[in-house]
Amino acid sequence: MSESVRISTDARGVACVTLNRPTVHNAFNDAVIARLTEIFRDLGADRSVRLVQLRGAGASFSAGADLSWMQRMAGFGREENREDALALATMLRTLNEMPKPTLAVVQGPALAGGCGLVAACDIAIAAETALFGLTEVRLGLIPATIGPYVAAAIGPRACRRYFLTGERFDAAEAHRLGLVQALVPPDRLEQTAAVLTDSLLAGGPRAQAAAKALIAAIAFRPMDDALVADTAERIADARASAEGREGIASFLERRRPSWQL
């Protein structure tokens, strides 16, 4: 029996995590969620990993929740449903807070929870033929666990439409909304992923982790003395770090920094 999630890491430290249930459009269940949480934690802690690509096998990126899992959930009581939902929320948070750059490569439909996976990644690129949707209300549900990530990506105004209608939207709309940052013909998706991967590998790994922490710390904060002091402390730490010193030295000496060798 094939693995429901495949993982491979190349010599550069590029980890590829692939949802591998193409016959059910890479829908996830409790077992897949637990496996993804474990993988994201391990990759985040692995110093040899530089970045993580998230993909779906076959024609779809992810259709969200597996139908048989949803059927089981329908028989759960409230407390069982809360625990089950908490596991999904924890997986998404683990992905969102991973200290490594994350890149979603979306070749096909990303619906409901699949949209949440896309939104929780740092960067998302999609084929022009991809399809998106936040379809939960059509099942009498809400996009609760994915909501914070989708709202951060597309804003509350767009959420008011797509959370409430449950309608599907094409890749051009996903790009306009900011859910994906690049939109390309299907035959150029891998080339675009490779270019972005090279760009990410050019950055210092500790600096990238610190940059992600910076974004989380400053987003939507008012400009006050505390924020000014916080940002000054962060850049001082970066400048004084071994990686910061190496980056400046390599620039002045016109050579590649150690993390690119």
Domains and CATH numbers, the chain: 5-201 (3.90.226.10), 205-260 (1.10.12.10)
Angle at 96 between CA 196 and CA 187, to 5 degrees: 30
pLDDT at 2: 66
Average pLDDT, stretch 57-68? 93
Question: What residues contact residue 32 under an 8 Å CB cut-off, 6+ apart?
Answer: 4, 5, 19, 21, 66
Find the range with the poorest average confidence among 55-59, 108-112, 122-126, 220-224.
220-224
Percent of the chain with pLDDT over 70: 99
Checking if the pLDDT of 1 tops 70, the result is: no
pLDDT tier for residue 92 given thresholds of 50, 70 and 90: very high
Radius of gyration, CA atoms only, the chain: 19
Residue 136 falls in the annotated catalytic set: yes
Q: How many CB atoms lie within 10 A of CB 171?
A: 21
Rounded to the nearest integer, the mean pLDDT of the chain is: 95
C-beta of residue 171 within 8 angstroms of C-beta of residue 127? yes
Strand pairing category for 14-19 and 123-127:
unpaired
pLDDT tier for residue 70 given thresholds of 50, 70 and 90: confident
Q: Residue 9 is encoded by which pair of tokens?
A: 């890491």
Spot the catalytic one: 97, 128, 136, 173.
Answer: 136
Which residue has better confidence, 189 or 79? Answer: 189
State pTM to two decimals. Answer: 0.94
Average pLDDT, stretch 87-104? 97
Q: How many CB atoms lie within 10 A of CB 220?
A: 5
C-beta of residue 134 within 8 angstroms of C-beta of residue 112? yes
